[in-house]
């Protein structure tokens, strides 16, 4: 009798297991990617990071050509208001400035304000659309977004996990997160040049994180273009959510050109 009861219990258990719904592999993968992104946001500061309204920075920036430095570096001051206002002032005297609002961009010197060339403006707007802020605060909440966990790898000489994100317009970006701290260490995306149809790859690497106002902040940032370093920035100071004078983003000149369409 005991043997028969055991057989009945085993059969019932097997039946229960076989009838339990299983989660499709692709959904498991997407859930793992989403969990990793959520961990990264928490590592960055959680709500403190997500509620950043303004950023002011001071540091030094270096430009490169084909991976080789072509300047001795220059002091910069950056003022940013989420999501699309930015002013970058160069030199200690702040006598050169670039101002971006929406899809407009101007350079200001002692001669006055002039529109930034279309190619340079397009490059800036593309980097902003693929910026970490936009990805973690805008992209992942869009309808039709797809998340893919792509396993462990090495990024910026660190053990990392990678996640790819594809939006409804088939734009994609891959993020790499430190396997221990979950902080972002690298971002990569590609785009096709409309003039020659060549595909270009842009990377951004973050390092030297420090806590500032409850937000983990990378004090070193490097950008790469098709594998060659194109820019490197080192921060000396950062503040968050300080009031910003809106006049910093205004362009005053007598014959203002028509806004770009």
Q: Please check whether residue 190 is in contact with residue 199, taking contact to mean a CB–CB distance below 8 angstroms.
A: yes
Closest CA to 202 of 234, 183, 228: 228
pLDDT digits (tens, 9 = 90+) for 18-42: 444 577 888 999 999 999 999 999 9
| Predicted pLDDT at 254 | 54
pLDDT, average across residues 132-142: 96
CA 132 to chain centre: 1
pLDDT level of residue 46 (50, 70, 90 thresholds): very high
Element (H, E) at 248: none
Assign a CATH topology to domain 23-249: outer membrane lipoprotein receptor (LolB), chain A (2.50.20)
Element (H, E) at 1: none
| Predicted pLDDT at 65 | 80
Averaged confidence pLDDT in the chain: 89
Give the whole-number percent of the chain exceeding pLDDT 70. Answer: 89
- Let me know if 72 is exposed, middle or buried by CB neighbors in 10 A (0-12, 13-18, 19+): exposed
Q: Please check whether residue 161 is in contact with residue 174, taking contact to mean a CB–CB distance below 8 angstroms.
A: no
Q: Please tell me the distance from the alpha carbon of residue 81 to that of residue 248, in angstroms, as a whole number.
A: 10
Mean pLDDT lowest among 12-16, 129-133, 194-198: 12-16
Does the structure show a pLDDT above 50 at 219? yes
Question: What torsion, rounded to 10 degrees, do the Cα atoms 223, 189, 127, 40 define?
Answer: -80
Give the whole-number percent of the chain exceeding pLDDT 90. Answer: 80
The residues spanned by each domain of the chain are 23-249
Does the structure show a pLDDT above 50 at 56? yes
| Residue 233: CB atoms within 10 Å | 18
């Amino acid at each position: 009798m005991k043997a028969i009861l055991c057989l009945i219990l085993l059969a019932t258990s097997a039946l229960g297991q076989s009838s339990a719904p299983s989660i499709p592999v692709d959904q498991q993968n997407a859930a793992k990617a989403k969990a990793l992104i959520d961990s990264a946001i928490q590592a960055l500061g959680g709500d403190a990071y997500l509620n950043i309204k303004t950023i002011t920075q001071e540091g030094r920036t270096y430009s490169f050509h084909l991976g080789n430095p072509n300047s001795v570096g220059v002091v910069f001051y950056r003022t940013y208001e989420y999501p699309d206002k930015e002013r970058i002032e160069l030199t200690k005297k702040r006598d050169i400035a670039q101002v971006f609002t929406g899809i407009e961009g101007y350079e200001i010197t002692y001669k006055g304000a002039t529109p930034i060339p279309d190619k340079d403006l397009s490059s800036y707007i593309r980097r902003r659309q693929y910026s970490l802020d936009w990805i973690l605060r805008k992209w992942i909440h869009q309808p039709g977004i797809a998340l893919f966990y792509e396993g462990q790898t090495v990024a910026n000489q660190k053990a990392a996990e990678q996640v790819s994100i594809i939006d409804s317009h088939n734009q994609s970006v891959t993020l790499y997160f430190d396997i221990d701290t979950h902080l972002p260490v690298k971002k990569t995306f590609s785009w096709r040049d409309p003039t020659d149809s060549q595909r270009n790859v842009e990377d951004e690497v973050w390092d030297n994180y420090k806590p500032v106002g409850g937000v983990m902040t990378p004090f070193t940032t490097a950008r790469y273009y098709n594998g060659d370093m194109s820019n490197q920035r080192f921060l000396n100071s950062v503040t968050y959510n300080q009031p910003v004078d809106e006049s910093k983003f205004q362009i005053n000149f007598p014959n203002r050109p028509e806004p770009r369409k």
